[in-house]
Amino acid sequence: MLTVRAPATSANLGSGFDVFGVALERPADVVRLSRADRTTIEVTGAGSQFIPEDPEKNTVGAVADALDAPAHIEIDKGVRPASGLGSSAASAAAAAVGLNELYDRGHSREELVPIAAKGEAVVSGDAHDDNVAPSIMGGFTIATEAGVRQVDASIPLVACLPDIVVSTRDARRVVPETARVEQLVETVGNAATLTTGMHRDDPELVGEGMHDTVVTPSRAKLIDGYEEVREAALSAGATGVTISGAGPTVIAACEETRQRAIASTMLDTFGDRGIDARVYQTRIGRGARVF
Ligand SMILES: Nc1ncnc2c1ncn2[C@@H]1O[C@H](COP(=O)(O)OP(=O)(O)OP(=O)(O)O)[C@@H](O)[C@H]1O
Ligand SMILES: N[C@@H](CCO)C(=O)O
């Protein structure tokens, strides 16, 4: 038996659609794995009633297949599904790291990213790496065809998860197919600014780089109250605000001293619209850990 804690993640960060991602210190999935003749799955915790235990439909089943590593897998969900916090990815990351060790497959953390992404393909239809990469490697990650680059960072974040369901599949359907050259120039500038901010651990630069006019506006329409929550968080001192992954979580970068005020105003602003929410005062953290 082996236990792995794999963190929630926030992908895109505005200007890095399908490329950028960060690991969060909290919440996380805790996954217990033991070798077996065939893969069986038990799911408990947040939203577990909506998560299949069929190995063909759960992300960890695809990972066990990819590693040829059948196991009994107990998933205690700390990351709510359809949250925009990489719920499906956290389980896949934990399974990849855990089964790699349990069966002594010898893969590096970077080599485990495309293996875990096969799990993501089961639920969202395509194997995007931008959640599994930070959940496995930690910190800030840049996932491209050439592989994954990783930067240790510890930027304070506030993630506010409203009681709304937005599936990644639905959110991907509203992404525009084209963009103008001036949007490309703006996005490259924001992405470079955000990356510099990660290297310098500078919340101001990271927040500035979170601005996006290409994907975020069309997805904002799926989140009731998004614009008001974003404005309220900026007024409370957030350096940047965007949609976490495919949503509905709204994520803000900030100085640690402003986290409490930002968390409170995000909750209140959703509440004023009759929407319950929960909020995590967290920061960029480490990747999956074996206990
Ligand atoms: N181990 C798992 N944990 C969570 N969701 C899973 C798992 N296996 C399969 N799923 C399915 O994946 C869907 C959740 O994935 P989805 O990508 O929509 O949300 P998310 O991963 O929380 O958000 P995002 O990818 O935007 O960060 C649910 O429909 C759930 O049934
Ligand atoms: N980049 C993906 C992440 C999903 O968590 C998307 O935004 O659809």
* Range 70-85 average pLDDT: 96
Whole-angstrom distance, CA of residue 68 vs CA of residue 128: 21
Tell if the pTM clears 0.95, that is, is over it.
yes
What is the chain's mean pLDDT, rounded? 96
* pLDDT tens digits, 249-270: 999 999 999 999 999 999 999 9
Give residue 168's pLDDT.
82
Pocket test for ligand 1, best of 77, 88, 120, 173 (most atoms within 8 A of CB): 88
In angstroms, the CA 202 to CA 224 distance is: 30
Residue-wise pLDDT tens digits, 195-227: 999 999 999 999 999 999 999 999 999 999 999
130 and 268 housed in the same domain: no
Same domain, 96 and 222: no
61/114 same-domain check: yes
Q: Which residues line the pocket of ligand 2, CB cutoff 6 A?
A: 11-12, 17-18, 86, 128, 130-131, 168, 171-172, 245-246
17 phi, psi to nearest 5 deg: -55, 125
- Asked if 147 and 274 sit in the same domain, the reply is no
Residue 126 is predicted with a pLDDT of 74
Question: Is residue 228 very low, low, confident or very high in pLDDT (cuts 50, 70, 90)?
Answer: very high
User: Average pLDDT for residues 137-147, to the nearest whole number?
Assistant: 97
- 71 versus 170: the higher-pLDDT residue is 71
Q: Are residues 176 and 241 in the same domain?
A: yes
* Residue 144 confidence (pLDDT): 96
> Residue 289: is its pLDDT beyond 80?
yes
User: What is the CATH number for 129?
Assistant: 3.30.230.10
Whether 242 is a known active-site residue: answer no
* Residues 140, 172 within the same domain: no
Work out the burial of residue 213: count CB atoms within 10 Å of its CB; fewer than 13 is exposed, 13-18 middle, 19 or more buried.
Answer: middle
Are 33 and 24 a contacting pair, CB within 8 Å?
Answer: no
| Separation of CA 139 from chain center | 12
At residue 169 the predicted structure's pLDDT band, cuts being 50, 70 and 90, is confident
Q: Is 145 a catalytic residue?
A: no
State which of 48, 87, 223 you would mutate to test the pocket of ligand 1, scoring each by most atoms of that ligand within 8 A of its C-beta. 87
Each residue's pLDDT tens digit, 31-68: 999 999 999 999 999 999 999 999 999 999 999 999 99
Q: What is the pLDDT of residue 122?
A: 87
Domain membership of residue 250 as a residue range: 156-283
3-state SS record for 217-229: HHHHCCCCCHHHH
Q: Whose CA is nearest to atom 5 of ligand 2?
A: 245
**Under DSSP, is residue 17 helix (H, G, I), strand (E, B) or coil?**
coil
Name which of 79, 27, 70 is nearest 48 in CA terms: 79
Q: Looking at the structure, tell me whether residues 105 and 174 fall in a common domain.
A: no
Rounded Cα distance between 174 and 220, Å, is: 10
Contacts of 108 (CB under 8 A, 6+ apart): none
Quote the tokens at residue 127. 């194997």
Whether residues 40 and 99 fall in one domain: yes
DSSP secondary structure letters along 247-283? SS-EEEE--GGGHHHHHHHHHHHHHHTT--EEEEEEE
Both 100 and 214 in one domain: the answer is no
* Per-residue pLDDT at 124 exceeds 80: no
One domain, residues 39 and 98: yes
Helices (H), the chain: 59-66, 87-102, 109-124, 132-137, 168-173, 181-200, 203-209, 216-220, 226-235, 259-272
Tell me the CATH number at 174: 3.30.70.890
The span from the CA of 170 to the CA of 207, in Å, is 26
Number of domains in the chain: 2
Percent of the chain with pLDDT over 70: 100
Same domain, 17 and 146: yes
Q: Which two tokens stand for residue 81?
A: 């599904």
Residue 125 has pLDDT above 80, yes or no: no
pLDDT at position 181 over 80: yes
**Average pLDDT for 2-30:** 98
Pair (122, 65) in one structural domain: yes
Percent of the chain with pLDDT over 90: 95
